[in-house]
Structure 1
Amino acid sequence: MENQAAVTPNPTKVATKWALISTLTNIVLTYVFEFMNLDQQSPIKYLSFLPFIIFLFLAQKEFRDTTGGGYMTFGTGFSTGFRYSVFTGLLLGVFIAIYLWILSPEVLEKSLEASRAQMEARGMSDAEIERSMGIANKIGPWAGGFFSALMYTIVGALLSLIGAAIFKKERSPLDTAVDPE
């Protein structure tokens, strides 16, 4: 029999799979909320974060149960969840930028109108408001995408710590695999 070196499972494959599922789910939810004509400030929109959380934990659990052979260290669990968060954040960041810039620019316009009203209520001058609106029109989609990616990564890192603590199952010295020869 050939002596095979122990292969350390890579959490990237599992994280990528769940990041794609999460991104597709969030894209569908984005359009569902748009077709429901929900207000941009509606708390119902926070429901779209629920699949992100569920899929993060499912990624960690899948890694432990399949790729990790039933075992997973805290560090590997965190790594799986963090990779999932980064991939999901990047994919959703790109989607948000394209969504606001090309697919549904009216969503950005509604947001800018609400911002204009807030600035007027604060007593800002017309020149200040126009300058702010000009900048927001230019960088709005990209800023939306960037801050979405950043938010998903940061929140995902925190949730990855929780998931890693929940799903970790380290090998004891008695759990060593016996080489069948």
Structure 2
Amino acid sequence: MEQQLIEMEKKPNMLAFKTAVAYAVYFLVLIFLFKFLGINTNDPNLSMAEKIVSSALTYVPFILAVTYVQYTHRLELGGYITFGRAFSAGFKVAAYTGLFVAFMLIIYYKLLDTKAFDDVMNVAIDAAGDDENQVKGVEMMRPYMVFFIAFSAAVAYTFFGLVISLIGASVLKRAKPLDEY
């Protein structure tokens, strides 16, 4: 009964929200850091080492953010958490992060660095090659491409966070022993 009261009082929403905002700000800073270092993550000729480093710097902190919220919420609940509760806490981080990263990407490409958006479009046109229909399609998508990129990032972070939340919940779940009820 006591555990149920604690679970009703303690919600991971605000912690998940703050963690997602912090990660989204980190993501924006990381974009500028890559730009400062001359690493263009949209370049198809990016070296394998740069791909590994950029992926690690992007996704490892995200994984840590999801598991941090799950673990912290478990501590708030007295050290015990169900699988469903841990999954829910982690998935909230993933959903919020997807939303905030999408918002940051729109701000970045529309306001902070419009030249970066032109570079993305040039890479897409180069990838289309000599096929006039593909080039025409890329040009037709230009006004909507920022939103497509943002939506794709939101879906990718949410889906990746779903997987991380499932794994984290299965590792962090801890049932309260029967003799403590």
- Do these two structures clear the TM 0.5 threshold for a shared fold by scoring above it? yes
Unpaired segments ≥5 residues, structure 1 = 177-181
AA aligned opposite 2:116: V
User: How many residues end up aligned between the 2 structures?
Assistant: 167
CA contact (8 A) 1:60 1:167 kept: yes
**Which of 141, 148, 162 is the equivalent residue of 1:143?**
148
**Which of 169, 172, 175 is the equivalent residue of 1:164?**
169
CA contact (8 A) 1:20 1:88 kept: yes
CA contact (8 A) 1:112 1:136 kept: no
Rg comparison, structure with higher value: 1
**Shift of residue 105, structure 1, vs aligned partner:** 1.5
Partner of residue 27, structure 2 = 26
Larger fraction in helix: 2
Give the Cα–Cα distance (whole angstroms) in 2 for the partners of residues 170 and 14 of structure 1.
22
Please give the per-residue CA displacement for 1:32-55, whole angstroms capped at 9, x wherever unaligned: 111112122441321212111111
Please give the per-residue CA displacement for 1:67-105, whole angstroms capped at 9, x wherever unaligned: 211111000000000000000110010111121122112
CA contact (8 A) 2:128 2:135 kept: no
Instruction: Please say if 1:6 is aligned against 2:5.
Output: yes
Give the TM-score taking structure 1 as reference length: 0.86
CA contact (8 A) 2:91 2:158 kept: yes
**Shift of residue 131, structure 1, vs aligned partner:** 2.4
Unpaired segments ≥5 residues, structure 2 = none
- How large is the RMSD of aligned CA atoms in angstroms? 1.6
**Which of 74, 89, 110 is the equivalent residue of 1:80?**
89
SS of equivalent residue, structure 1 residue 6: helix
Give the Cα–Cα distance (whole angstroms) in 2 for the partners of residues 134 and 64 of structure 1.
49
Partner of residue 179, structure 1 = none
CA contact (8 A) 1:12 1:80 kept: yes
Runs of 4+ in structure 1 over 6 Å off: none
Please give the per-residue CA displacement for 1:120-178, whole angstroms capped at 9, x wherever unaligned: 1xx412xx2442232231111111111111100000000000000111111121122xx
